[in-house]
Amino acid sequence: MVKKHIAGHFRRIHHHVLPHLHEDGQQHHAHGLSLVALFAYMQIFAFTIGGFYVIKFTAPQILGVVTFTADQIIELTNVKRTENGVGAVSYNPLLAQAAAAKASNMFAENYWAHFSPSGKSPWSFMNSVGYKYVYAGENLARDFGDAQSVVNAWMNSPSHKSNLLDRGFKEIGVAVASGNVTGHEGILVVQLFATPVSQVPVPQNLAQASPSPAPVVTPIPTPIRNSFAQASPTPTLTPAPSPEPSPSSSPTPIAVAQADIIVGDNVGQSATVLASNQFSISKGITLGLVGFIFVLFAAEVVMVVRREHLKLRSGILAHLGLLGFVLLVIWYAVSGAIL
Amino acid sequence: MIKEHDIFWHTFLYLGLGVGVIAVYLSRFDATRQYLILMMLVLFYLVWGYVYHHMKGDTTRRVILEYLFIGFIALLAGFLVLVS
């Protein structure tokens, strides 16, 4: 009696996950792949999406939070530079202020780009805080859940990586801000690199050739390619009569927004922005559910191939292909964007 | 079990999906574009399914609903991770 009960139980489970023949000789696919089941999976996704929106607007802390600081970005950047045999960059508060001004301006003018809609370049923010540079570069990131993911994403992009590992850069300033840009709530990271005028080495022969007046460095605007990859890591010295670098001579008015912005302070981890765990939760749910459906279809194919009395259902390979594609997309999805 | 024209049609489908994989890879770090690619791939899958089953002569309401449900599941899964 018990044996029969257990056997019946196993048969029911078997029918839920594998194709089978009914008493009338007709082949039936797994109950887990019936239209009702597929409709139920759709409902699960729809309710999950709806639930996330409700939670985000009512109680976002339920999704969990991770701290996100500018100091972490600086630290991780220097770790990558050291690993690659490039000297660490030192924190500069003026560059950090410039990065914060850029982030504010992105909120104020609502854009996700290196140049503002009103035409402000990243360098104009350095000029506005009085930072005098020879070379500069900018990396941007948004919507990542933690600092490590940001730096990893930059390292996976050749143009951003060339900025990050540029030997010519000596100083760094980073701002991390939370807010809404282009209709998307999330974390914004502005990373500015530069070589200040004061740290440009004066070549011996040039110094001897023209001892008076002293050679003055002319700032060279960074050529803009893709993500502000630095064109040349070698500073060029040009004797010039102008006593002041030209970029700092004409600061332009910059719109700033009130936003929750923090900058690297190099003294502690007190300032933090909280990022949500929503992406990793969504990714887990999606991989689990789509993976389950994929496995059911794959099991059906394997079962049919192994048992000659079963027939391969028309269209099942197409379903497997699409679901496999979705799994790949989700598996390799990253939470944020870089520019 | 699998006829020659099935192989042709499925090769065509998988080639399309392969192009999609490359496109998604090239659009990494741009989730919106990745989602647009996913939408196009789902549309391709639905059109492929309709043409394939129409030619086989087994276009039933059940088959159509199955394609639609799986297409929607793909879109909702992508939306959950890439957009929301």
Q: Which residues of A touch B34 (CB under 8 A)?
A: 329, 333
| A27/A311 Cα distance (integer angstroms) | 8
Report the chain B residue with the minimal C-alpha distance to residue A53.
B84
Which residue from B25, B71, B76 is facing A46, i.e. has the nearest CB?
A: B76
CB-based contact A293 B81, cutoff 8 Å: no
- pLDDT for the residue numbered A9: 66
Please report which confidence band the pLDDT of residue A182 belongs to, taking 50, 70 and 90 as the band edges: confident
CA distance B31 to chain A (A): 7
| A13/B36 Cα distance (integer angstroms) | 38
Closest by CA position to B79, among listed B47, B30, B32, B41: B32
Element at A27 (helix H, strand E): strand A27-28
Over residues A26-36, mean pLDDT: 80
Which residue from A41, A153, A321 is facing B14, i.e. has the nearest CB?
A: A321
Task: Mark out the alpha helices in A174-277 (DSSP H runs).
Answer: 204-209
* Collapsed DSSP state (helix, strand, coil) of residue A172: strand
- pLDDT for the residue numbered A207: 43
ipTM value of the model? 0.92
| A149/B71 Cα distance (integer angstroms) | 31
* Collapsed DSSP state (helix, strand, coil) of residue A227: coil
Contact indicator for A216, A243 with CB cutoff of 8 Å: yes
Alpha carbon A197 to chain centroid, angstroms: 31
- Tokens for B2? 């699998």
- pLDDT for the residue numbered A33: 85
CB-based contact B29 A157, cutoff 8 Å: yes
Which residues, 6 or more positions from A98, have their beta carbon under 8 angstroms from its beta carbon?
Answer: A125, A126, A128, A129, A131, A173, A192
Please report which confidence band the pLDDT of residue A147 belongs to, taking 50, 70 and 90 as the band edges: confident
Please report which confidence band the pLDDT of residue A139 belongs to, taking 50, 70 and 90 as the band edges: very high
CB-based contact A322 B71, cutoff 8 Å: yes
Contact indicator for A172, A72 with CB cutoff of 8 Å: no
B1 inside 8 A of chain A by CB: yes
Q: Torsions phi, psi of A151, nearest 5?
A: -65, -40
pTM above 0.90, yes or no: no
Q: Torsions phi, psi of A93, nearest 5?
A: -65, -30
Q: Which residues of A touch B65 (CB under 8 A)?
A: 35
Please check the confidence at residue A66 and state whether its pLDDT lies above 90.
Answer: no
| A294/B70 Cα distance (integer angstroms) | 11
| A160/B59 Cα distance (integer angstroms) | 50
CB-based contact B82 A38, cutoff 8 Å: no
CB-based contact A326 B78, cutoff 8 Å: yes
B46 inside 8 A of chain A by CB: no
Q: Which of A126-130, A185-189, A228-232, A266-270 has the lowest mean pLDDT?
A: A228-232
Which residues, 6 or more positions from B81, have their beta carbon under 8 angstroms from its beta carbon?
Answer: A279, A282, A283, A286, A330, A333
CA distance B17 to chain A (A): 7
Please report which confidence band the pLDDT of residue A2 belongs to, taking 50, 70 and 90 as the band edges: low
Report the chain A residue with the minimal C-alpha distance to residue B10.
A318
Please report which confidence band the pLDDT of residue A40 belongs to, taking 50, 70 and 90 as the band edges: very high
CA distance A290 to chain B (A): 8
A→B interface, C-beta within 8 Å? 35, 38-39, 41-42, 45-46, 48-49, 52-53, 153, 156-157, 278-279, 282-283, 285-286, 289-290, 293, 311-312, 314-315, 317-319, 321-326, 328-330, 332-334, 336-338
Q: Which of A15-19, A120-124, A311-315, B78-82 has the lowest mean pLDDT?
A: A15-19
Closest by CA position to A281, among listed A54, A57, A41, A49: A49
Over residues B12-37, mean pLDDT: 87
Q: A201 exposed, middle or buried (CB, 10 Å; 0-12, 13-18, 19+)?
A: exposed
CA dihedral A31, A36, A41, A43 (to 10 degrees): -160
Mutation choice for A interface testing from B70, B75, B79 by most A CBs within 10 A: B70
Closest by CA position to A45, among listed B69, B38, B65, B68: B69
Q: What is the pLDDT of residues A194-236, one digit of tens each?
A: 998 876 665 554 444 444 443 334 444 343 333 333 333 333 3
- pLDDT for the residue numbered A52: 84
Angle among Cα A219, A190, B81 to the nearest 5 degrees reads 145
Q: Which residues of A touch B80 (CB under 8 A)?
A: 45, 48-49, 52, 282, 285-286
| A203/A335 Cα distance (integer angstroms) | 45
B36 inside 8 A of chain A by CB: no
Report the chain B residue with the minimal C-alpha distance to residue A326.
B74
Provide the CB-side half-sphere exposure for A32 (13 A, CA).
20
- pLDDT for the residue numbered A295: 92
CB-based contact A282 B29, cutoff 8 Å: no
Between A97 and A260, the more confident residue is A97
| A189/A103 Cα distance (integer angstroms) | 8
- Percent with pLDDT over 70 in chain A: 66
Please check the confidence at residue A150 and state whether its pLDDT lies above 90.
Answer: no
Q: What is the pLDDT of residues A152-167, one digit of tens each?
A: 888 988 889 998 999 8
Residue that has been written with the tokens 């019946």 in this structure: A8
| A339/A148 Cα distance (integer angstroms) | 16
